Amino acid sequence: MLDVREVCTFADYFVICSGESDRQVKAIIDAISQQIKKEHISPLREEGTPESGWILLDFGDVIVHVFSSIERDYYQLDQFWEKASTKVRMP
């Protein structure tokens, strides 16, 4: 999770994660969606599909990016937003 408040005007945090297959990417999105629904929160916007390799869930202040590992390596958002401070990093 990146704290982008100092370098971005449209969000406070980015959550960036990836799965090794379309199925795993879909499972990540499903898990996020189930948990968020329990909190009675809906994304303002959802873009992409597991097959495209990048799904974006926009919750306003928090934007979740779920990538296939190939697309994550290609787009390198972690490096693009390197001036943001890392709040949570998991191997």
What is the tens place of the pLDDT at every residue in 39-70? 999 999 999 999 999 999 999 999 999 999 99
Task: Work out the percent of the chain whose per-residue pLDDT is above 70.
Answer: 100
| pLDDT surpasses 80 at 91 | no
List, in order, residues 6 or more apart from 66 with CB less than 8 Å away.
17, 18, 19, 25, 28, 29, 32, 54, 55, 56, 57
Residue ranges and CATH numbers for the domains of the chain are 2-86 (3.30.460.10)
Structure tokens at 12: 């406070």
> Quick one: pLDDT at residue 14?
97
pTM confidence score:
0.90
Q: Inform me whether the pLDDT recorded for 13 exceeds 90.
A: yes
Residue 88: pLDDT above 90? no
Cβ–Cβ under 8 Å, residues 25 and 55: yes
